[in-house]
């Protein structure tokens, strides 16, 4: 069975977002997957695969979490004089 082209593109975008540690891109890709599911372009199992590559990834991948924590620490440092 030939893979859904929309699913292929979403997977590509999700992998790019993961490698970039981009929360914004991960959420955008998840939103696209939601829209594709509502339009019945993705099956429930394909949507769940995209959910796993985006939202689940952000909540469970230790390297991603560590990167986000480091970025947060950088932006919230208070300069003392």
Rg (C-alpha) for the chain, rounded Å, is 16
Mean pLDDT along residues 77-81 = 57
**Residue 64 class from Cβ within 10 Å (0-12 exposed, 13-18 middle, 19+ buried)?**
middle
Q: What is the pTM of this model?
A: 0.85
Confidence of residue 38 (pLDDT cuts 50, 70, 90): very high
**CA-based end-to-end distance of the chain:** 65
Domain locations in the chain as residue ranges: 5-76
């Amino acid at each position: 069975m030939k893979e859904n082209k929309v699913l292929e593109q979403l997977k590509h975008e999700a992998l790019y977002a993961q490698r970039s540690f981009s929360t914004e891109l991960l959420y955008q890709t998840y939103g696209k997957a939601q829209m594709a599911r509502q339009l019945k372009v993705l099956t429930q199992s394909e949507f769940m695969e995209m959910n796993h590559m985006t939202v689940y990834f952000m909540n469970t991948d230790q390297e991603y979490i560590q990167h986000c924590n480091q970025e947060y620490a950088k932006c919230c440092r208070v300069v003392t004089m």
